Structures are given as C-alpha cells and as structure tokens.
Amino acid sequence: MFKAFLIKYAEIGLKGNNRYLFENALRDRMKDALKPLGDYNVSKEQGRIFVECPDEYDYDETIDALKKVFGISSICPVVVIESSEWDALTKGVGDYVEAMYPDRHFTFKVEAKRADKKYPYTSPEICSHMGAYLLRRFGELKVDVHQPEVRITVEVRSKAYVYSIVIPGLGGMPVGTNGKAMLLLSGGIDSPVAGYMISKRGVSMAATYFHAPPYTSERAKQKVVDLAKKIAKYTGQIKLFVVNFTDIQLYIYDKCPHDELTIIMRRYMMKIAEKLAEQEECLGLVTGESIGQVASQTLHSLAATNEVCTLPVYRPLIALDKNEIVDIAQRIDTFETSIQPFEDCCTIFVAKHPVTKPNRKTIRHSEKNLEEKIEDMIETALSTVETIVVE
Amino acid sequence: MEVYLDNSATTKVTEKVRDKMIQVLYEDYGNPSSKHIMGMKAEQYMKEAADIIASTLKVDSKELIFTSGGTEANNLALIGTALANKRRGRHIITTRIEHPSVHQPLIYLEQLGYEISFIPVDKSGKIIKEKLYELVKEETLLVSIMYVNNEIGAVQDIPEIIRELRQRKKDILIHIDGVQAFGKYRIHPKREGIDLFTFSGHKIHGPKGSGVLYVSDKVKLNPMVFGGGHQRGRRSGTENVPAIAGIGQAVSELYEDFDHKINKMYELKQTFLREVSRLEDVTVNGLVAECTDDFDMEQLKKTAPHIMSVSFQGVKSEVFLHALEDRGIYVSSGSACSSHHPQPSVTLTAIGLPKDLMDATLRFSMSDKTTMEEIQYTLANIKELLPILRRYTRK
C-alpha cells in the first residue's frame, strides 16, 4: 500500500548554516543506495527527505537499502493524501487505518505536524478532530494519549502525509560530509568494522591492503576486495590500494631482530599508508587496533607504531572486546568473509615470541639497519601499487 | 610459460569434448525423456556415450549409471549396496588412504550400525595385504579400495587382491575407486572381478559434473536419488546429456596412442624425480624403497604415471605453491597449512610422513599433454626458488 517513504534525520538538523550541505549529501547517498533497485525519486523538503517509489518496487529491499545509509534516524512508510482539505484529509486517514489494521482493537493517538501555518486548524485541533473522526468511523478503537499502541502521525503540507510505522535507521552522518580517511584493511575481522564505524560519522573511505605474495595468496587478496565491497554498501565507493609488501618484509627479516619484526613491519605499513593517504587527500588513518588484542597492540606497541606518522590515526575499536567487534562484524555482514582462512601463510613473519613492550629507542636503533635500501623500496612499493575501485 | 601440473585436481577438456558438448547444449538440447525427435536425438547421445564406455570397460551398457561425478558414484556404490544387501552382512573393509567420497559414506554407514574396518598402508602407500585378508569374515559384505591414490600416486595390486579375497569369500563384493586410475591403466572391471567401479569425467579431459558407476548386473543396489525413474530407476533426474556426451567423447579418446602416452609420462616422471631428489632435504613420497636411489623405470612403473608427491623440508607448501604460481606453474599442496584447517592429509598421515614434512609437501600431477620442456621449466624454477624460500622461516 505504500508508495513513498518519509525519511527523518536527527543530527543534521543541528548544523546551522551548513545544513543544506548535509541534507544534500544525505539525499545523494540515498539516491546512490536506491539506484540499483529502480527509478526512485528522492527529494528534499522542509526538514524531511521524501522518497517516491517506482510503480513496481520491493518494500523489503527498499527498507534494507535505506537501513544502510548513514544519517537516517528513521524511515517511515507513508501514504500521501493528495489534498489536505479537511474532508479529504479525514477520509484519507480513515482509509489508511482501515487498510493498515484489519483488526482495530487497539489504543491510538493522533499526532499532527503542520508545516502549512495557514491551515484552518492548529496542530492540537487537527489531533483532537481527527481522533474524534476515527472514533466515529471505527467503533473498536480507543484513545490513549499517554501510551498508545499505535501512533498515527499526520503531517500537513501542501499535500498531507500519514504514517504509523517508524523503522529506525542507522543514525550517524551522511558519508561525504566529513572528509576522507585511509583505512588499513587486512583480511581480518577488525579492520572492516573500524572502517564502518568511522564512516558512520560521515567520513568517506579509501583503503590500503598489504599483499605479500607468495606468502599471501591471490585468494587472500580477493577476500580483501570482497570485504571492501561489503563495507562499500555503507561507505560508498572505496578506492583500494594493494601494496606489494614482500620485498620490504623480507628486507626487515634479514636486517632486524626477529622479535621486533611485526612492530617494524607495522611501522612501515603506517608510513606507506600515510603516503597514499596524502596522495588521496585523506585527513587521517583508520585501523582496527584494540588494546592488548595481540602483541602488536599493547599500549607500548601502539605507541611505537603511532610515532611514525603525523596524520591522526583513528582507532574506533580501541576499547572494544573481541566479542563486541564480532557482533558488529556480524551485523554488517563482514564476519563470514573475514573468517575465511587464507592469510595464514605469512605467519612465518610472526616471531614465535614477539616483543610485547617494545622500546621505541631500540626499535629506532634496529631500523637504522634498514637505512641503505628502505626508502627506495618504499618508492618502489608506491610506484607499483595496484588500485582497485570497489563499489 | 604456463605449466599446468594439477591434472589430478582436474583436466582441460579436449577440443572434441568441447565441440560435442556445445552441440548438445545449444543445438540438440532436448530432454531424452521427451517423445519427439528432439528427445530422441538427446537419447542417442546418451546411448552413444554408454556404448563407448561399455566397450572400453568391456561391460554391458546396462551396467552403467551416469552420476554427477566421482563423489556421487562412490556414495551410490557404498551406500546403495550396503542398504540393498544388509542381510548378507554388515561388515565393510576399506583402507586408511581413501578419498573422502569413500571414507565419509562409510562413516555414515558406521553410524547406521555397519562395521567398518580400515587397513593400514606401508611407507610407499601400499596396503598391508595380510591385514586385509585376515579381516575377511562371514559377515564381510564389501571391500572398497582405491586403485591409484590421489595424493601420492600409490597403486594397489588390484588383480592379486581380488584373487586372494575371492579365495577367502567367494561372494564378497568389491568396489574400486578408479578416479585417478582410469585412463592410466586399461581396466576391465568384469574380467577382473570388480563388482563396482567408479570413474570421473573431469580427470580424463571430460567435463566436471560427470561420473560413471559400473555396477555388475549381479549386484543389488538401492537408489539414493528418487524421482522419475531415470536410468532404470537407479538414479532419477533428467540426465545431464551434455556432460554424458562429454564423458563419452573423453573416454573414446583415452586409448588412442595409449602405450606411448603412458610411457612418455613415466619418462617425465623419472626425469623430474631424479632431478628434484638431488636437491637438499627433498623427499619423494609414495615409492617403494628400492626405487628411491635411481628411480629405476621398472620400479617406477609400480606407481601411477602422472602423480608425483614431493616434500621440501622447511618450505611451507602453500607458500611454495604461490611462488610457483607466480612463475606460471600450477600445482597443489599436499596438505593445508592454515591453522583454520587443522586436519592433516589422510594419506600423508597414513604413510607415516613426519609432521614437519606434512606442511611442506607438493603434488605435481601430469597429463599426457605435459611436455619435457614444461618439466624442465618447473625444475629450473624449483631449483631457483627453493633456497630463497628456505631462507625465510619462522623463528
């Protein structure tokens, strides 16, 4: 019965003069999300975004797509009443209740919003008159203004809109309103979740993956592309940079103490990701690190990896437990992909007993052994980077 | 250069197989059960395939069941005969090195109350025959043995085993999984006393999704797929005519120039193993002890012509696999190295391969199209990569 949706947004409403930028971004993100499903018309009007559906459309698919758009606080399937003239309005609302609720043994309350201030009734008058009309038309209905089972909302503009279903949206802010960040994407559980979380605040994503053939396989790389596709459903298009990291890894292996290998490796990953970030005009790095999860994520290790870059590093999972991260991964459908077992062949680079409390001075000292070639190797890695655009 | 040495995983179809299948998919696409001419034409393709296979195996075409592949054929052979003959006995004997498509159905039958015995193998992958013969008893219904092992290429002495088994129990049923053997050996199930014989299309340059089970007309077999009663009620479901035509075509090409093809593969195998075994800390698996010094051809011929299993100490097989892949050489790893797949290879465990070699084993499997040039190219790359990969180990 629904041919349209009213979309409400919360936080955007607070943004003073920039508000239109946020609204436009949200409208555009919704258009992007709905485009694969058909010819929807998405328009902005007075603190609402209005979605008109094509004649043939799938209700559940549409809701699912909208539920992946950051910035939406709620999705209301709505019936449009072409004229807001009172008799037409009451009949329209009555017909809605009749069609929507075959069994009308429930309590209700009418809520009214009046954008058209010249309308002959005030909002409280619309509520009480409409309530009275519905009680007359459907004897089974009862009013409960405090805890109604059904809230029937009527919005009066040039046309009128009636709805009683409110589906919660994702919240957050529309992607593209808060700059861009570079996600360090591995094939694991954490990094896709981190990308999702930062993107929720309106941040666009680029991503870097460190590929180490033959120690990591083509399948491991494909898995990362698949993960990028999964989060791109939320973040929009992602430019994925695949860096061939093998030579650098082997060089570190040859020149540095084995127990510091992972830390030093991560420091170079950060450096390379930062260079790509600058090239892409990203304003920060995003990682899936969480304190204490592994040896390279103790506070000492994080301090050691953090010091090599100047861009801020955002770590949205920093204080989450693994099971909390897994919950989100399952919700955003990255978990099943993340646990495919492809990347384990690079375990030879992980020391059996890695340092858990690396001393930054010692690490810097060890890195001196790399001075001869490392800058050239980074240059080579950057110049041979493979770019995959994921949507 | 591209070198495909994973022919035990699957093979490329021949041109004639491809052409025939396209003809069936696109021109003669009728349902063989249809009464009109389109149906009749489709039926002709099936008959033709069945006749070719029957004459190659020297059996009656009525004794063939087309399946979706080796796995289904093995399942049907084991479960189908076990269920149909439970009154004759509920004891089944098999080996410790079977393919999962034999092992798992037997585990299922074990859960249904059947008794399953597993015969061990020696270091070369040959079953300990005395153990097999000792196990035969009044209730023994079925013995299932793979002809050629898929991981190391060990070959069992099937004719001798069957002779000995029949001496102990005349009516014992014998199932041979011939997926890796068919096309490498001339196998005539009926003459050799095999009651049930499995082979697969895509290991012999036919299509994936095609397999055949030969069931001797003397053997009772329950169907596992029920429906419209196709294939004499033994395997319902509209026949996969393109695949059946494809497997028929592939079989018709098998024995063209056969001895030459097989001898060529043995020569390549000998060259490869001689060279590779000269490298440091390299072990060749699946050979009898007398063979490992000079790879004497007579001894080598006791193993399958196309499969070579080699362990490279200190190199993770999956890493080596990807390093070779980078050079255009496609092989498979004897065992998964990933910690998420903790099951070690069944065969490598059964032959007593040390644990550190299990993760370091590659399988190279040839087809009759493999050339000496490809083998030399592979050897050159192994020699080059091995020291590089060995330098980086977990400390």
pLDDT one-digit tens code per residue, B27-63: 999 999 999 999 999 999 999 999 999 999 999 999 9
* Nearest-neighbour CA in chain A from B318: distance (Å): 7
Q: Which residue from B321, B323, B392 is facing A253, i.e. has the nearest CB? A: B392
Give the model's pLDDT for residue A131.
Answer: 93
Q: Which residue of B has its CA nearest to A351?
A: B395
How far is the C-alpha of B155 from the C-alpha of B145, rounded, in Å?
10
Question: How many Å apart are CA B240 and CA B277, to the nearest integer?
Answer: 44
Residue B160 shares a structural domain with residue B180: yes
CA gap B194, B216 in Å, rounded: 8
Model confidence at A128: pLDDT above 80: yes
Q: Of the residues B254, B284, B302, which one is the last residue of a structural domain?
A: B254
pLDDT of B338 reads 43
Q: Are residues B239 and B354 in the same domain?
A: no
Q: What is the mean predicted confidence (pLDDT) over B169-195? A: 96
CB B395 within 8 A of CB A258: yes
Give the residue ranges of the annotated binding site of A for ATP.
Answer: 184-185, 209-210, 266, 288, 297
Q: Residue B364 — pLDDT band, cuts 50, 70, 90?
A: very high
B342: nearest CA in chain A?
A341
CB contact under 8 A, B339 and A347: yes
**Per-residue pLDDT tens digits for B320-361:** 999 999 999 999 986 544 444 556 788 999 999 998 898 899
Strands A74-81 and B361-365: unpaired
Please tell me which residue of chain A has the smallest CA distance to B320: A214
Cβ–Cβ below 8 Å for B319 and A258: no
Q: How many residue contacts between A and B have a Cβ separation below 8 Å?
A: 53
| pLDDT for res B356 | 87
CATH number of the domain where residue B330 is located: 3.90.1150.10
B245 and B127 within one domain? yes
Report the percent of chain B where pLDDT is more than 70: 96
Angstroms from A361 CA to nearest CA on chain B: 23
CB-based contact (8 Å) between B267 and chain A?
Answer: no
DSSP A64-114: HHHTTSTT--EEEEEEEES--SHHHHHHHHHHHHHHH-SS--SEEEEEEEE
Q: Specify the pLDDT at position B366.
A: 97
> B14 with B368: CB under 8 angstroms?
no
Active site residues of B: 337
Q: Is the predicted pLDDT of residue A344 greater than 60, yes or no?
A: no
At residue A29, the 3 state secondary structure works out as helix
Question: Alpha-carbon Rg of chain B, whole angstroms?
Answer: 22
Rounded mean pLDDT of A110-134? 90
The enclosing H or E element of A162 equals strand A160-163
pTM: 0.86
Strand B361-365 with B307-312, pairing: antiparallel
Please judge whether A341 and B319 are an interchain contact, meaning their C-beta atoms are less than 8 angstroms apart: no
What is the C-alpha to C-alpha distance for residues A316 and A255, in angstroms, rounded to an integer? 33
Average pLDDT over residues A96-125: 90
Closest to A356 measured CA to CA, from A307, A309, A293, A308: A293
The distance of B9 to chain A (nearest Cα, Å) reads: 18
Q: Which of B192, B226, B254 is the last residue of a domain?
A: B254
Do B109 and B250 fall into the same domain?
yes
Chain B contact for A214 (CB, 8 A cutoff):
yes
Q: Is residue B137 within 8 Å of residue B183, measured between CB atoms? A: no
Please name the amino acid found at residue B313.
Answer: Q
CA distances from B216 to A259, B48, B68, B181 (A): 64, 20, 20, 19
Nearest in space to B212 (alpha carbons), one of B238, B163, B186, B246: B246
Q: Taking CA atoms, what residue in B is nearest to A250?
A: B392
Q: Are B245 and B289 in the same domain? A: no
**Top mean-pLDDT range of A83-92, B63-72, B283-292:** B63-72
- Report whether pLDDT(A15) > 70: no
Query: Range of B354's domain?
Result: 3-10+256-394
Q: Is B97 in contact with B121 (CB distance < 8 Å)?
A: yes
Q: What is the rounded CA–CA span in Å between residue B368 and residue B302?
A: 18
User: Is 50 exceeded by the pLDDT of residue A180?
Assistant: yes
Do B293 and B236 lie in a common domain?
no
**Nearest CB neighbour to B394, from listed A216, A218, A352:** A352
**The pLDDT value given to residue B290:** 67
With a cut of 90, say whether residue A349 has pLDDT above it.
no
Q: Do B325 and A344 touch (CB under 8 A)?
A: no
Are B225 and B295 members of one domain?
Answer: no
How does pLDDT run across B250-283, given as a tens digit for each residue?
Answer: 999 999 999 999 999 999 999 999 999 999 999 9
Query: Which of 332-371 (B) contact A at CB < 8 A?
Result: 336-341
Handedness of CA B284, B288, B294, B299 (dihedral sign): negative
Domain count, chain B: 2
Instruction: Give the domain CATH number at B83.
Output: 3.40.640.10
Among the ranges given (A214-218, B109-113, B197-201, B249-253), the one the predictor scored with the smallest mean pLDDT? A214-218
Interchain CB distance below 8 Å, A348 and B320: no
Tell whether the torsion through CA atoms of A174, A176, A180 and A184 is positive or negative: positive
B216 and B68 within one domain: yes
Better-scored residue on pLDDT, B309 or A11: B309
Residues in chain A closer than 8 A to B316 (CB atoms): 345, 348
Same domain, B133 and B110: yes
DSSP character at residue B345: P
Q: How far is CA B227 from CA B105, B234, B235, in A?
A: 22, 10, 8
Question: Are B222 and B89 in the same domain?
Answer: yes
In this prediction, residue B340 carries a pLDDT of: 47
pLDDT band at B284 (very low <50, low <70, confident <90, very high): very high
Say what percent of chain A tops pLDDT 70: 97
pLDDT at position A90 over 70 = yes
Q: How much is the mean pLDDT over chain A?
A: 91
Long-range contact list for B345-350, CB < 8 A, 24+ apart?
A: B345/B151, B346/B96, B346/B97, B346/B98, B346/B100, B346/B103, B346/B151, B347/B97, B347/B125, B347/B149, B347/B150, B347/B151, B347/B152, B347/B154, B348/B151, B348/B152, B348/B285, B348/B309, B350/B96, B350/B97, B350/B120, B350/B121, B350/B125
Average pLDDT of B207-229? 96
| The predicted structure's pLDDT at residue B337 | 43
Each residue's pLDDT tens digit, A25-51: 999 999 999 999 999 999 987 778 999
Contacts of B393 in chain A (CB under 8 A): 348
Q: Are B249 and B276 in a shared domain?
A: no
CB proximity list for A300: less than 8 A, separation 6 or greater: A356, A357, A358, A359
Joined together, the tokens standing for residue B271 give 């060259």
ω before B207 within 30° of 0 (cis)?
Answer: no
Please tell me which of the candidates A250, A339, A345 has its beta carbon nearest to residue B319.
A345
Nearest CA of chain B to the CA of A287: how many Å?
24
**Residue at which a domain ends, from B196, B222, B254:** B254
Segment A59-82 shows an average pLDDT of 94
* Portion 283-342 of A in contact with B at CB < 8 A: 339, 341-342
Instruction: Looking at the structure, tell me whether residues B267 and B235 fall in a common domain.
Output: no
Residue A250 forms contact with B (CB below 8 Å): yes
Nearest-neighbour CA in chain A from B338: distance (Å): 5
Whether chain B has a CB inside 8 Å of the CB on A22: the answer is no
